[in-house]
Structure 1
Amino acid sequence: MSASPFDILFEPVQIGPVTAKNRFYQVPHCTGSGALRPRIQAHMREVKAEGGWGVVNTEYCSVHPSSDDLPYVSATLWDDRDIKAHAEMTEKVHAHGALAGVELMLGGARMANLDTREVPLSAGNLPNLAGNPFQSRAMDLSDIRDARRWHRDAALRAKTAGFDLVYVYATHGYLLSQFLSKTTNHRGDAYGGALENRVRLLREIIEDTKDAVGDTMAVAVRFSAETNGGGGADGAPIPGETEDMFGLLAELPDLWDINIEDYSYEMGLSRFTPEAALEPYVAGIKSLTSKPVVSVGRFTSPDTMASQVRRGVLDLIGAARPSIADPFLPNKIREGRLEDIRECIGCNICYTGDGKGVPIRCTQNPTMSEEWRRGWHPERMNAKRSDDTVLIVGAGPTGLEAAHALGKRGYNVMLAEATRVLGGRVTQEARLPGLTQWARVRDYRLQQIDKLPNVEVFRESALTAEQVFEIAPDHVAIATGATWRRDGYGANALAGIAGLGPAAPIFTPDDIMAGRLPEGRVVVYDDDHYYMGTVVAELLRLKGCAVTLMTPEDLVSTWGAYTYDRWRAQARLLELGVQLSVARSLRSFDGARVVSGCTYTGRETEVAADDLVLVTARQPKDALYRQILEYPLHTSDGPLKSVAKIGDCDAPAIIAAAVFAGHRYARALEADVDRDAPLRHDRVYS
């Protein structure tokens, strides 16, 4: 076999006493399952090991009830009762030749301990760093001894559970980084003041962990390349104490996992952050230590990955989101199937699971978190049950996923799209500022459909109910999407907005994406609260409009907080000169003035405006579905065995939900699914 330019990625890497079979390293990442849903957690990690990842880690794992982060769901190793759940994961990961790692966590002032009601402990009497009205207790020497013991005991439990690698977590604002930082550590004892003192607790815990498990397990340290707390422009690190800290610690652990404190850039949206964005921060770390270095960068390109290793930036290619989008990414690279990779689009919908305390989902990979409870596999479909034909109407994300998945099952599929352009809302939204990579949702599925001879695609094929019955498929799925509403109907206006003048120039995102743009003074009214309102405002400002973004919420893009969109979106709009008007509910627009009322007091104000863009709710385009149900030939024993509406046509939602709907329809067609109990629950009683 001829050499591949990616062979370097499949070289083994020695990490202390253990060896990773390749350089693909799934770094610790949140799952929304953790200790609450151990089987969902274990099976999800197993699929990554099966897909070729050389190292598979847990999310952060609390070592004691004083580091309780609920409603953010973490793993736990509080006592021996936690061992069984972790052992299930390590056994499954080992079955595929991968190493299993656990990231131990002492939370400090980031913890409110809302569930356990324990007092948070930190370097000082600090305010809660996650915005809760609790302060931490300044740790005395007895507390420090306790923390060291808790961490050591958790490491020993990790060893019993079968882990190969254990983390000391010293970044992202958790306890150890609170001791490291001059900003949060104002102690006057042996653990504060001079650098050697601020590093002391980290050094002691590394040494404790090595002493407990180092003969059989590797010890990793997760560490920020910005030890001064950041603050520089994106991609332009400000020199801090990193080199001095490495001078004291460089050779202690077996591996360094390097990131930065700013989550919104480390795991930045593709809208704002390019692939391999952390290279300026990480590039010099290998010169400071002889130990292997791993970091992340939303790596989706094998060329970029190989380049990072060849140029000496990294020893291991770290990934969280790319491993979620495609658990089989390493195997596909090794087998030369690059076109089969489901590339991460950088939407961060996976991260919403952490904020919401629910199992993570993925726009590209609808099987994420469904490996155990639904029995879904990202690369395998259940076989077809008959030779029936399926007609899918609509080639947006739902229709494309349904056609792809049904084609893999073996069904003969006809995919009819009313327009010339495939992709539906994905294609339209990918034209908006920063959303180019949304198109990967369409492109991946079209590439896969092209390989399936049993799937036919018909463009410019708008269908009527009569034509559907003439085609005479066995099953019909309507996936015709949704349109943005023009009446103002939304979460804060369930009766619509009565004061919209009949002749007033009103636009929706559909108009914007079709190239019909307002001019002059524009108010964008956002009652959707995700990314669309801010993206539309950005586009119109770039086109020269004077833009005001108005929302009935207290903040811009409130739901975008769960994807780390809100902060950067607001900063972008302010930099562009967009005016922000929050806690304002739209009352009327007559073509010259927008009248809004304060969300709290009702007091009205006016804003001069030539045009209004409504980003509120969407209306399902389900007319064809209703026509089919009303068609004279449609009976319970008629020619169509089943008719369904799926995706936005059924209930408008996010793109990830649209893809999931198409996949679920494909899995369930003619399958034995208990409609009353479609899920296995993961509740454990002891």
Structure 2
Amino acid sequence: MFTKLFTPKKINQCEIPNRLAVTAMVANYCNEDGTATDRYIAYHEAKAKGGWGLIITEDYAVSEHAMGYQFIAGLWNDDQIASHKKLTDTIHQYDSKIFAQIYHAGRQSASFVNGGVQPVAPSAIPCPWLRQLPRELTIPEIEQIVEDFGDCALRAKQAGFDGIEVHAGHGYLIAEFMSTYVNKRTDKYGGCLDNRLRFIKEIYTNIRSKVGDDFPVMIRFSADEVVQGGRDISESRVLAKLFAEWGFDALHVSSGAYGDHNKGIVSPMYVSHAWTVDFAAEIKQLVDIPVFTVNRINDPRMADGLLDMGKADFIGMGRGSLADPDLPNKAKAGDLTSIRYCIGCMQGCVGKLLVGEAITCLVNPSLGQEYQLDYSKATTPKKVLIAGGGPGGLEAARAAAIKGHEVTLYEQGSFLGGQFKSAAYPPCKGELATYTNWITSELDQLGVTIHLNRQVTKELVAAEKPDTVIVATGGTPCKPAIKGIDKALVVTAEDALLGNVATGDQIVVAGGGEVGSETAAHLAMQQRDVTIIEMLPKICSDLDGVNKFNLMKILREYEVNQMTQTKVVEILDDGVIIENSQGQQTLPADTVVIALGYRPNNQLAEALSAVHNHVIVVGGAVKTSNAMVAINDGFNAGLSL
């Protein structure tokens, strides 16, 4: 099935057993002092077990003031070496190799995560995300940071890493010096290209002098910063040749910098697969050292094809490895349908970091829990009944079945997936369906009995006599007391998305949150005239900045009218009466879509709790949330039995 994906290739003297690389992603699993935790080690060990050829760790800070996140790794003093030696010893029990990525966050940091000091940068320009004014570095400070990089690289070697990757991309400090987007200096570190590269050249020279010629040293950089005034591929071609001439052993070609308007560093579902591959392909023509490519590559066949075409030498699958750390082993065995594919939602891997938390994964609830999970079979198998076939119920069934319990799932509807099925209908979200398909197949293999079109009642539970009932009935759409809300032209967002009802050409969507805005985009792409009515000052206020930016582009392109600080006061037979600071007016409408949130559907849970002594309630049946919370709740409930 694969021609090159599972062939070895050397970086310097280090032979990587295959071409699949886990690229560096911040996990926030370390101690605040930069030392490795059992959680951090087990997280990486899962990938080594899964067969990845090369694991590149998250950013190792070169000093205590270089951190961009509170709980990332660091090698700025000798006391940190021992804990990271435990990491490399663990990985070396397997065939995988492990490189430490080293970096300084520069302006992409904040005082509360980098030792209480003001962030630093080539010039005093704030990061779009962090927004804290950085201080311009002095030349003596630059010289000290150069030494810090070299010392950090040496400690990485002493800690048993097989190589290092210098992070010179994504808008961090080295990238800031290289780019006129941030670097406005007029001394020897600013201006012309050679001056802007002086910092990274001095860093490389310092590193090489301390680790020797045989130790692999690669560099990650953004071929296109995808921001106005930033570097693009034309300059990156020059950089690539210089990096190779200086002596770097491999080039990791990435893209982007921090900011909501940037699709590079964070590539959500709105971004096409393998969209930066041609940057790597161009650079590969200019150098004789290995080249890595990344960004939304999650299918092994896609990866192998890119290798066959000569686009790159290694394929990075960062978020693909979060979704399924066993992807390489499954691919090598030809078992592609069992791979749990990344869906590009960014809810756990990026969304959690944006609020300072450790990463999670919507489709992989075991992520970050590897060090404490127990998959051993239960000594006394139980009879488990699950009410609800949405994400929470499905995951509860999977986890309980893994533990060896007899599991039966009842879904009152005609399909599995619950509201997650309709969530795949809006623009660019079709890959969400892969999770439902995957877990349905897993349940079949695990022997879970599934009944569709069956509602769980007290009588059913009494007849089945389960030891445990898990209620995963999710939420139901809110239906506020708006005059006329029961008229025939009123439909729910879920029904509109699933095509359960036909919609007219003039559509009013009541509710401009994520669900309402995505439903509006879905209908607008059918060339309908759509208006969103939202009471808050802005629509999409419940979305992260990156996904909001991309969704808003679609709404603008398809001319969706957005009326904020406005409410629907009455629904007529052929329109709606709305009210805002300008007074009341009537909008014509053939269809009114209600997307005003959800409330917990907990009636069954209350009824069963009165007659059964072991009822567990998960997900939206407890509190309105999202699929990631429901999946995590279901997984933990099933595994705890």
TM-score by length of 2: 0.90
Conservation of the 8 A alpha-carbon contact between 1:166 and 1:218:
yes
Correspondent of 1:625 among 605, 609, 613: 605
Once residues 582 and 81 of structure 2 are traced to their aligned partners in structure 1, the CA distance between those partners, rounded to angstroms, is 59
Residue 287 of structure 1: how far off its partner (Å): 0.9
The structure-2 alpha-carbon separation of the partners of 1:203 and 1:413, relative to structure 1 and needing over 3 Å to count, comes to same
User: Deviation of residue 248 (structure 1)?
Assistant: 2.1
Residue 166 and residue 558 in structure 1: after superposition, are their counterparts in 2 closer, same or farther (change >3 A)? Answer: farther
The superposition leaves residues 591-643 of structure 1 with CA deviations (integer Å, 9 ceiling, x where unpaired) of: 4555455xxxxx5655643365443331222333333334xxx365xxxxx22
Check 1:635–1:141 CA distance in 2 against 1; reply closer, same or farther (3 A cut). closer
Change (3 A) 1:76 1:503: same
Once residues 365 and 225 of structure 2 are traced to their aligned partners in structure 1, the CA distance between those partners, rounded to angstroms, is 38
Deviation at 1:460, TM superposition (A): 2.1
Alignment of 1:171 with 2:169, yes or no, is: yes
Equivalent residue for 1:393, pick from 381, 387, 391: 387
Per the alignment, in what secondary structure is the counterpart of residue 436 of structure 1?
Answer: coil
Q: Deviations over 1:236-281 (max 9, x none)?
A: x965212222232224211111111167534665641232222232
Q: Is the 8 A contact 1:243 1:288 kept in 2?
A: yes
Is the 2:166–2:218 contact (alpha carbons within 8 Å) kept by the matching residues of 1? yes
1:215-234 mapped onto 2 (5 Å cutoff): 215=213, 217-226=215-224, 229=227
Question: Is the 8 Å Cα contact of residues 325 and 343 (structure 1) preserved in structure 2?
Answer: yes
Structure 1 contact 270–437 (Cα < 8 Å) conserved: no
Matching residue's letter, 2:520: A
8 Å contact from structure 1 (residues 168, 205) kept in 2: no
Percent of aligned pairs sharing the same letter: 27
Report the 3-state secondary structure (helix = DSSP H, G, I; strand = E; otherwise coil) of the residue aligned with 1:288. Answer: coil
Equivalent position SS for 1:241: helix
Q: Which of 434, 441, 455 pairs up with 1:440?
A: 434
Contact 2:475-2:621 at 8 Å conserved across structures:
yes
Q: Hey, what does 2:459 align to over in structure 1?
A: 466
Using a 3 Å threshold, how does the CA distance of structure 1 residues 129 and 75 change in structure 2: closer, same or farther? farther
Matching of residue 404 in structure 1 with residue 398 in structure 2: yes
Which deviations, in whole Å up to 9, do the C-alpha atoms of 1:114-133 show, x marking residues without a partner?
A: 34332433222333443524
Q: Structure 1, residues 298-332: CA drift from partner, whole Å, max 9, x if none?
A: 32222111111111111111011100000011111
CA shift for structure 1 position 587 = 6.6
Q: Secondary structure at the match of 1:96?
A: coil
| Counterparts of residues 83-94 of structure 1 (less than 5 Å) | 83-94=81-92
Pick from 529, 539, 542 the counterpart of residue 522 of structure 2: 539
| Residue 677 of structure 1: aligned partner | none
Q: What is the alpha-carbon distance in structure 2 between the residues aligned to residue 60 and residue 586 of structure 1?
A: 47
1:101–1:164 contact (8 Å) kept in structure 2 = yes
Map of 2:256 onto structure 1? 261
CA shift for structure 1 position 28? 0.4
Contact 1:40 1:370 survives alignment (8 Å): yes
Match of 1:213 in 2: 211
**C-alpha separation in 2, matches of 1:395 and 1:228:** 41
Decide whether the 8 Å contact of 1:230 with 1:261 is kept in 2: no
On the 8 A contact 2:298/2:317 being kept in 1, the answer is no
Matched ranges for 1:54-133 at <5 A: 54-70=53-69, 73-115=71-113, 116-133=115-132
1:216–1:95 Cα change, 3 Å: farther
Matched residue, 2:495: 511
* Other-structure match for 1:572: 554
Say whether the 8 Å CA contact 2:410–2:455 is kept in structure 1. yes
Q: Which residue of 2 aligns with 1:674?
A: none
| C-alpha deviation, 1:659, in angstroms | 1.5
- Confirm whether residue 11 of structure 1 aligns to residue 7 of structure 2: yes
Matched, 1:48 2:31: no
State the one-letter code of the partner of 2:43.
M
Deviates more, 1:185-194 or 1:15-24: 185-194
Normalization by structure 1: what TM-score?
Answer: 0.85
SS at match of 1:111: coil
Q: Is this contact kept in 2: 1:228–1:241, CA < 8 A? A: no
Residue-pair matches, total: 626
| Whole-angstrom CA distance in 1 between matches of 2:103 and 2:367 | 25
- Are 1:247 and 2:247 counterparts? no
Letter in 1 for 2:379: R
Counterpart contact for 1:392–1:413, Cα < 8 Å: yes
Q: Distance in 1 between matches of 2:243 and 2:538?
A: 42
Secondary structure of 2:399's aligned partner: helix
Inter-partner Cα distance in structure 2 for 1:105 and 1:457: 50
Q: Find the counterpart in structure 2 of residue 673 from structure 1.
A: none
> Offset of 1:65 from its aligned partner?
3.6
Q: Which residue of 19, 22, 26 corresponds with 2:22?
A: 26
Structure 2 Cα separation of the partners of residues 320 and 466 of structure 1: 48
Q: What's the counterpart of residue 351 of structure 1?
A: 350
In 1, the alpha carbon distance for the partners of 2:280 and 2:483 equals 53
The 5-angstrom pairing of residues 495-644 of structure 1 reads 500-501=483-484, 506-515=490-499, 516=501, 519=504, 521-526=506-511, 529=513, 531-553=514-536, 555-561=538-544, 564-582=546-564, 584=565, 586=567, 588-591=569-572, 592-593=575-576, 595=578, 603=581, 605-606=583-584, 608-609=586-587, 610=589, 612-630=592-610, 634=611, 636=613, 642-644=614-616
- Point out where structure 2 has 5 or more consecutive residues left out of the alignment: none
Say whether 1:483 aligns with 2:471: no
Corresponding letter in the other structure for 1:175: L
Specify the code of the residue in structure 2 equivalent to 1:588: V
SS in 1 for 2:509: strand
**Contact 1:226 / 1:261 at 8 angstroms: preserved in 2?**
yes
Alignment of 1:315-354 (within 5 A): 315-349=313-347, 350-354=349-353
Q: Helix, strand or coil: the match of 1:9?
A: coil
SS in 1 for 2:285: helix
Change (3 A) 1:612 1:38: farther
Are 2:168 and 2:175, in contact at CA under 8 Å, matched by a contact in 1? yes
Q: Partners in 2 of 1:520 and 1:369 — Cα distance?
A: 47
Gaps of 5+ in 1: 488-497, 598-602, 637-641, 670-686
Structure 2 distance, partners of 1:98, 1:596, is: 62
Q: Deviations over 1:376-404 (max 9, x none)?
A: 5xxxx220232432222222212222222
Amino acid in structure 2 at the alignment position of 1:415: L
* Aligned-partner residue type, residue 27 of structure 1: T
CA distance in 2, matches of 1:651, 1:125: 44
C-alpha separation between the residues in 2 aligned to 1:302 and 1:607? Answer: 55
